[in-house]
Copies of this chain bind each other. A is one copy, B any other.
Amino acid sequence: MTASSPIALLTDFGLTDPYVGQLRAALTRLAPQSNLLDISHNVEPFGTGQAAFFLAASAPHFPADAVFLCVVDPGVGSGRALIGAELGGQRFLAPDSGLLGLLLSAPGADAARIYDLSATAGTYQASATFHGRDIFAPLAARLATGEPLAALGEALDQSRLVKKPWAAPTMLDGALLCHVLHVDRFGNCVLSLRQDHQLPAEVTGHSPSPGERHRLRLVRTYAQLAPGEGGALGGSQGFYELAANMGSAERLLTLRPGDDVRLLFGEAF
């Protein structure tokens, strides 16, 4: 049995450079009993929205005592704060870049306790450019081996965190305005719209190209769509996805990560 909590890793380091290997090596030295679990290291460089989605979608499937080390950090070396969050036994470390935005906007997440760990972070002798290995890893190891998060920083009100426009959908001119958080390997386009949000059986999606408009049938599985037909479904990730059966919604609907999408309801097509 391991006495240490598992540590989940989420970065934009990629799997070619030796950065992930050095991060895992540092964690292995500092918390040798911890199981290291990768969420993804292929977040688009500086892709905070994509990382926020990966984290919010994945955390519920991880062990209840997991520590999440998240580094997608456009501001490394600048003065941005290092944040710790605690929610239902899980603990999260991330730069204050909006990365925790979707996790903390989930139902029930207002119970999260937030801490500013910047002062503790400043006590580490760190390379100027690789805070993941030199600061986040030792902090994660301390959490995984039993140190309480509250001991590492000062409590902070959740409202003080950086907030990004994609953290929640908004109504605009009768349409639901949301954002393509991520396009997956199969071309499914994940929207910044939680699947507990009720949608009518038929929606119309405007993609950002002027005049492009697609009827989207709300279905339960890809197989319910005809070949070449676009649809919307509550996927496996907790957010609505635009999908095509055995094809790519990305290509069918000409969408890319970061695009805005307007959803219209009950409209004659």
- Could you list which residues of chain A lie within 8 angstroms of chain B, going by C-beta atoms? 6, 8, 12-22, 24-26, 28-29, 32, 35, 37-42, 45-46, 54, 57-58, 61-63, 74-78, 127-130, 133-134, 182, 184-186, 220-224, 233, 235-237, 246
**Assembled-state Cα–Cα distance A18/B186 (Å):** 13
Q: How many copies of the chain does the oligomer comprise?
A: 3
**Assembled-state Cα–Cα distance A41/B134 (Å):** 23
Asked if B57 and A18 make an inter-chain contact with CB atoms under 8 angstroms apart, the answer reads yes
Asked if B42 and A21 make an inter-chain contact with CB atoms under 8 angstroms apart, the answer reads no
Cβ 8 A contact of A58, one of B22, B61, B76, B134: B22
A-B contact pairs, 29 of them (CB 8 A): A8-B21, A15-B15, A15-B41, A16-B42, A16-B184, A17-B40, A17-B182, A21-B58, A22-B39, A24-B37, A25-B58, A28-B63, A29-B61, A29-B62, A45-B186, A61-B133, A74-B246, A75-B223, A76-B221, A77-B222, A77-B224, A127-B235, A127-B236, A128-B233, A129-B222, A129-B233, A129-B235, A129-B236, A130-B237
Asked if A61 and B26 make an inter-chain contact with CB atoms under 8 angstroms apart, the answer reads yes
Interchain nearest-CB distance for A269 vs B (Å)? 25
Q: A77-B221, A222-B76, A233-B128 are in contact. Are A6 and B18 (CB under 8 A)?
A: no
**Assembled-state Cα–Cα distance A14/B233 (Å):** 21
Which B residues are CB-close (under 8 A) to A76? Answer: 221-223
Asked if B128 and A45 make an inter-chain contact with CB atoms under 8 angstroms apart, the answer reads no
Which B residues are CB-close (under 8 A) to A16? Answer: 40, 42, 184-185
Which B residues are CB-close (under 8 A) to A224? Answer: 77
Closest to A35 in B: B28
Cβ 8 A contact of A61, one of B22, B42, B246: B22
**Assembled-state Cα–Cα distance A17/B39 (Å):** 8
Asked if A223 and B78 make an inter-chain contact with CB atoms under 8 angstroms apart, the answer reads yes
Which B residues are CB-close (under 8 A) to A233? Answer: 128-129
**Assembled-state Cα–Cα distance A26/B185 (Å):** 21
**Assembled-state Cα–Cα distance A86/B26 (Å):** 21
